[in-house]
Amino acid sequence: MSQTPLRERSEKMSPEDYESLSADAVIDRLLAENAAAVERGSVCITCSFQAEDMIVLDMLRQKLPSVPVLFLDTGYHFAETYAYRDRMAAEWNLNVRNLTAKQSVPEQEAQFGILNRTDPSRCCHLRKVEPLFEALENFEVWFTGLRREQSPTRKNLKVVEHHLLPSGRALLKVSPLAAWTWGNVWEHTVRHKIDYLPLYDSGYRSIGCEPCTSIPAAGADPRSGRWGGNKLECGIHTESKRSD
């Protein structure tokens, strides 16, 4: 943990103040300032088991070993993603909570057809957005691995944001790596010997559901390989709204 005196750590910082802190210091300060939420078990991290998420998770688990790790199990992930999730959950003794949609994949396809082909936004809403927002109702602090560089839709991302869920519930959304570059991600991954999802070795840069993920063209936006380039977000980070 940070060596900052407890008296100073108890004084809340403004969201702007966090922009100058290192990722690890952001986590330390947020946990100190929200000690009551920590005691209540109201801190979580969303994790798709991509490289950025694994860095934040590795930092966070050093301080909160049992932090809930929310994984959106859409039923459409790569086999490699499921295998990596299970392996890392065992190696790191993670408290993984697999969030699923109200309908199974066969039930959804029987009612609506293959939505990831005909209406991917609706598919994402049913299989990602709804399950996550329902789960987040139980938390006060939400850690993510988001970075501004990932997409034009994330260029205004703040390290710390006050967010409102569609229900009106407020929570803190914390993205310690907001200012990191792709180079920073891999330098840290290698230096700290964090095992990574093998799909990166095949050329993938942004990895989601298998039917909606492809290898981006050289020099293209990393998320251009998602949804055939027709959209950049599933809705998780656009349907919740920043309130500050």
| Dist CA 150 CA 205 (whole Å) | 10
DSSP 176-198: TTTT--HHHHHHHHHHTT----G
Q: Which amino acid is at 114?
A: I
Mean pLDDT of 154-162: 88
Residue 65 maps to a domain: yes
Q: Say whether pLDDT at 159 is over 70.
A: yes
Residue 136 maps to a domain: yes
Residue 40 maps to a domain: yes
Task: Indicate the pTM of the whole model.
Answer: 0.85
Residue 14 maps to a domain: yes
Edge-to-edge, what's the strand order for the sheet holding 241-242? 95-99, 68-72, 43-46, 141-143, 170-174, 160-164, 241-242
Q: Domain containing 109: what range?
A: 8-242
Predicted confidence (pLDDT) per residue in 114-145, tens digit = 998 888 889 989 999 999 999 999 999 999 99
Among 35-39, 218-222, 236-240, name the one with the lowest average pLDDT: 236-240
Residue 55 maps to a domain: yes
Q: Say whether pLDDT at 237 is over 90.
A: no
Q: Exposed e or buried b for every residue in 6-28, given b needs 16+ CB within 10 A?
A: eeebeeebeeeebeebebbebbb
Residue 180 maps to a domain: yes
Predicted confidence (pLDDT) per residue in 24-67, tens digit = 999 999 999 999 999 999 999 999 999 999 999 999 999 999 99
234 catalytic per annotation: yes
Distances (CA, A) of 115 to 81, 226, 237, 239: 21, 15, 20, 19
Which residue is listed with tokens 């890392």? 88
Q: Which of 123, 124, 209, 234 is labelled catalytic? A: 234
Number of domains observed in the structure of the chain: 1
Residue 1 maps to a domain: no
Beta bridge partners of 98: 71
Mean pLDDT (the chain, rounded): 86
Q: What is the CATH number of the domain that holds 163?
A: 3.40.50.620
pLDDT, position 218: 65
Assess contact for 33 and 10: CB atoms under 8 A: yes
Q: Say whether pLDDT at 222 is over 80.
A: no
| Dist CA 229 CA 120 (whole Å) | 12
Tell the burial category of 1 from Cβ atoms under 10 Å away from its Cβ (0-12, 13-18, 19+).
exposed
Beta bridge partners of 164: 170, 241
Residue 3 maps to a domain: no
